[in-house]
Amino acid sequence: MGRKPSKNLNLPPRMRARERGGKTYYFYDLGGKPRKEASLGTDFVLAVQKWAEYHEAAPTTQITVGWAIGKYLESPQFDEVGLGTQADYKFALDKLLRKFGDAPMDEVKPSHVQLYIDLRSKESKHRALREKAVLSMIYSWALARDFCKTNPAGAIKTKRLPGRKHIYIEDDMLDAVYAKASPALRDAMDLAYFTGQRPVDVLQMAETDVRDGTLTFSQAKTKKPMRIAVEGDLAKLIERMQARKRQFAVRSLALLVDEHGKPMTKAKLRSRFEAARDAAGVDGAAFQFRDLRRKAAADLRDDAGIEKAQDLLGHSNVQMTEHYASGKARTVTALPKKRAS
């Protein structure tokens, strides 16, 4: 037996802490002569887990859902997803932390997750299922690292809500919202429709992206490089946006700016679009800003062919473009004459 520790008395038996370079390292005292120690790392929670393996005892500190979420947000896996996905994850994880943050991972049961889904569905069925999927993703990530033993969210089977593949914005609905839109919102709607890009890409477009007669950028979600010819209505739109920006003392490089010349943000775009949509008497479920990408796909498919629509949207295959354009049925030819008797 070694001498009795005089500090770090809160540590489990045989667990030692060493301060080195402003960082705390944990070890397990294996005993023996000369004395040997096994490294437990610098993370206290993980160190206790490893300590339990050496000591053949239940860990005194359990890994909580909140701790696992924090580790995931610091991980390379989170950094690898697109900015839009990161924002969606953070929104969902913030909700999940309020209910499951302090719960030990292995004590969360499928019944707890189902209760969360039932209560959250009263506010939004879509968000309830989305947050359940994000919770399941966290558990799967944690399982691969031995942070937990089961995935309670994965045990619950839910039906997917109908997507928006059958949505097509007719011209009269678009015109009604457009008529109630501010100049800043009209610029955003036109830019989204003419380029067929996602809202996140439209918001990130800058004047410096317009060069050599093209609008050049990389899609945020797929990193696919895009070069769209600046001609026709798109060229007129960019001239109109630049003319509006010249009235401001400080000129932003962003293509889309608000009524004060400041860069348009996701929150600003949403609030302005929802206000115009409400003023036009259009239901929120019938028209969302992202639907302009689907309309662009369907209209260009009919005017120039599916391959042109595929190129504009940046899809890797025609099937994805057909999925986007499926809200508007193709025009087909009727039988030319009656069947002969």
Please state the domain extents for the chain: 15-55, 65-143, 171-325
Look at residue 311 in the predicted model and tell me its pLDDT: 92
| CA-based nearest residue to 107, from 139, 140, 137 | 139
pLDDT-above-90 percentage for the chain: 62
Which of 3.60.21.10, 2.60.40.2310, 1.10.8.60, 1.10.443.10 is the CATH number of 171-325?
A: 1.10.443.10
Residue 65 host element (H or E): helix 65-73
Least confident of 34-38, 167-171, 320-324, 334-338: 334-338
Least confident of 81-90, 190-199, 230-239: 81-90
Look at residue 48 in the predicted model and tell me its pLDDT: 84
CB-based contact 63:50 (threshold 8 Å): no
Averaging pLDDT over each range in 21-25, 247-251, 273-277, which range is the top one? 273-277
d(CA 110, CA 156): 7
**Which residue type, as a one-letter code, is found at position 261?**
G
Look at residue 3 in the predicted model and tell me its pLDDT: 56
**Given a cut of 50, is residue 38 above it in pLDDT?**
yes
pLDDT in tens, 258-310: 999 999 999 999 999 999 999 999 998 899 999 999 999 999 999 999 999 99
**Given a cut of 90, is residue 222 above it in pLDDT?**
no
**Distances from the Cα of 236 to the Cαs of 115, 146, 187, 326, in angstroms?**
53, 57, 11, 29
Look at residue 336 in the predicted model and tell me its pLDDT: 75
Q: How confident is the model at residue 1 (pLDDT cuts 50, 70, 90)?
A: very low
Select the more confidently predicted residue: 2 or 130.
Answer: 130
- Output 79-84 pairs: Cβ under 8 A, ≥24 positions apart: 82/200, 82/220, 82/221, 82/222, 83/200, 83/220, 84/198, 84/200, 84/220, 84/221
Look at residue 241 in the predicted model and tell me its pLDDT: 95
